[in-house]
């Protein structure tokens, strides 16, 4: 336990009654009592998450746009206005996913990236290896904290505790855009399928922001609710739904790969070869027809033939059903079953997301 890193909010989580667990080398809150209540708070009102374990990386230099055009599978040419954000995978030459991330265009000399906690060290090492050719500086910002505020009332409650000028700018933001006052940075982004902000502040101001949000009626939430919310929203989790051993084309992330032009990004040739070969595994959404819980690595069957496995699964508090994401063979049919403790139970194949903006998106 003593080896786990702690975010700047660790003491306040404990003070507020959080149950702490190790997560990717960090000591993090899993819930503050009821994971279900936290989940519903985000779907119906407003909840907040400590995401200080994720890493903000500032990329600077005259050729930073060219660098990111080479580094990322999605195309930063789409980012034309200051604060605009893009979701992308960063790939190995063989097409495996090093990480999935969000990148913000601040100006032509400065882009800001937010990367996952468990992959921070390898991400930074990879970027620092690629950056010298473009004379770009890679600056991890370990001096910053980050809080995600999510839910239908999240923006109003968050703006009530922001400096007035920043609150005014934040109120004008379209989804996947950010504003900054030079001290705080607010992105209209998130990982729950609800509206809201991810707010980056100096580490010294993070605890006060957390307490101010709580006082404004925002429910503290842990990793448990974060996982059920992102699963309902059909959002991938790095290390479960994709990793260095699997291509974005087999992870439901083909939409994030921009291959329309001849841009030479790392991994492009491998992805082109995969496309040309065909037979790519499908990434699908499933609902369990009966009782039971879907979990990662459970085997899926088409008749007697094993065709794949659940990558992420769990009970959906919004739908009151067990739901999952799965990777299956290209020729797997629609009549699938899952092996749960030796019993084959029928699955219904559906379209993602399961839930968006608090509403079920699938026919039950």
Question: Which domain CATH number covers 16?
Answer: 3.30.1360.120
In a domain, 78, yes or no: no
Q: What gap in Å lies between CA 53 and CA 93, rounded to an integer?
A: 27
Distance of CA 332 to the CA centre of its chain: 28
**Banded pLDDT at 290 (limits 50, 70, 90):** confident
For 135-165, the pLDDT digits (tens) are 999 999 999 999 999 999 999 999 999 999 9
| pTM for this prediction | 0.97
For 54-83, the pLDDT digits (tens) are 999 999 999 999 999 999 999 999 999 999
Q: How many domains does the chain have?
A: 2
In a domain, 93, yes or no: no
Residues 197, 311, single domain; the answer is no
Residues 220, 147, single domain; the answer is yes
In a domain, 67, yes or no: no
pLDDT at 120 over 90: yes
Torsion sign over Cα 232, 234, 236, 242? positive
For 310-351, the pLDDT digits (tens) are 999 999 999 999 999 999 999 999 999 999 999 999 999 999
Residues 350, 223, single domain; the answer is no
Q: What gap in Å lies between CA 241 and CA 243, rounded to an integer?
A: 7
Residues 31, 168, single domain; the answer is yes
Of 232, 263, 297, the domain-final residue: 232
Residues 219, 153, single domain; the answer is yes
pLDDT at 3 over 90: no
* Token representation of residue 342: 């030796």
Percent of the chain, pLDDT > 70? 99
Range of the domain at 309: 281-360
- Look at residue 44 in the predicted model and tell me its pLDDT: 98
pLDDT at 6 over 90: yes
Residues 172, 318, single domain; the answer is no
Residues 40, 189, single domain; the answer is yes
* Token representation of residue 124: 């930074």
In a domain, 40, yes or no: yes
Residues 293, 186, single domain; the answer is no
Q: What gap in Å lies between CA 56 and CA 116, rounded to an integer?
A: 9
What is the pLDDT averaged over residues 99-108? 98
Q: What gap in Å lies between CA 15 and CA 4, rounded to an integer?
A: 19
Closest among 178, 171, 53 to 111, alpha carbons compared = 178
Closest among 331, 332, 327, 337 to 287, alpha carbons compared = 337
For 7-50, the pLDDT digits (tens) are 999 999 999 999 999 998 999 999 999 999 999 999 999 999 99
Local structure of residue 259 (DSSP, 8 states) = -
Residues 193, 333, single domain; the answer is no
Here the CATH number for the domain that contains residue 321 is 2.40.30.110
- Look at residue 2 in the predicted model and tell me its pLDDT: 56
Of 232, 250, 273, the domain-final residue: 232
- Look at residue 24 in the predicted model and tell me its pLDDT: 85
pLDDT at 231 over 80: yes
In a domain, 61, yes or no: no
- Look at residue 327 in the predicted model and tell me its pLDDT: 98
For 237-247, the pLDDT digits (tens) are 999 999 999 99
The neighbour count for residue 355, using CB atoms within 10 Å, is: 25
In a domain, 341, yes or no: yes
């Amino acid at each position: 336990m003593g080896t786990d890193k702690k975010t700047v909010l660790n003491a306040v989580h404990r003070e507020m009654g959080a149950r702490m667990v190790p997560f990717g080398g960090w000591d993090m809150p899993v819930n503050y009592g009821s994971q279900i209540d936290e989940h519903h708070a985000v779907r119906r009102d407003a909840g907040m998450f400590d995401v200080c374990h994720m890493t903000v990386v500032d990329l600077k230099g005259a050729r930073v746009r060219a660098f990111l055009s080479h580094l990322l599978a999605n195309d930063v040419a789409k980012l034309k206005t200051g604060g605009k954000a893009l979701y992308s995978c960063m790939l190995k030459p063989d097409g495996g996913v090093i990480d999935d991330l969000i990148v913000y265009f601040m100006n032509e000399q400065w882009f800001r990236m937010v990367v996952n906690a468990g992959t921070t060290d390898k991400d930074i090492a990879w970027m620092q290896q690629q950056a010298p050719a473009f004379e770009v500086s890679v600056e991890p910002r370990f001096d910053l904290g980050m809080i995600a505020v999510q839910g239908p009332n999240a923006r109003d409650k968050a703006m009530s505790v922001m400096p007035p000028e920043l609150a005014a700018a934040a109120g004008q933001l379209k989804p996947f855009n950010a504003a900054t006052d030079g001290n705080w940075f607010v992105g209209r982004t998130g990982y729950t399928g609800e509206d809201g902000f991810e707010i980056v502040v100096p580490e010294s101001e993070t605890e006060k922001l957390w307490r101010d949000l709580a006082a404004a009626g925002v429910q503290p939430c842990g990793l448990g609710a974060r996982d059920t919310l992102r699963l309902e929203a059909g959002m991938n989790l790095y290390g479960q739904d994709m990793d260095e051993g699997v291509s974005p084309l087999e992870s439901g992330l083909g939409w994030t790969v921009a291959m329309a032009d001849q841009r030479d990004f790392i991994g492009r040739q491998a992805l082109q070869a995969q496309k040309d070969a065909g037979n790519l595994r499908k990434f699908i959404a499933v609902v369990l027809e009966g009782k039971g819980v879907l979990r990662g690595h459970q085997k899926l069957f088409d008749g007697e033939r094993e065709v794949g496995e659940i990558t992420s699964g769990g009970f959906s508090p919004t739908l009151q059903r067990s739901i999952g994401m799965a990777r299956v063979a290209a020729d797997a049919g629609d009549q699938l079953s899952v092996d749960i403790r030796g019993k084959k139970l029928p699955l219904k194949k559906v379209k993602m997301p399961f839930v968006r903006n608090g509403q079920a998106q699938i026919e039950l």
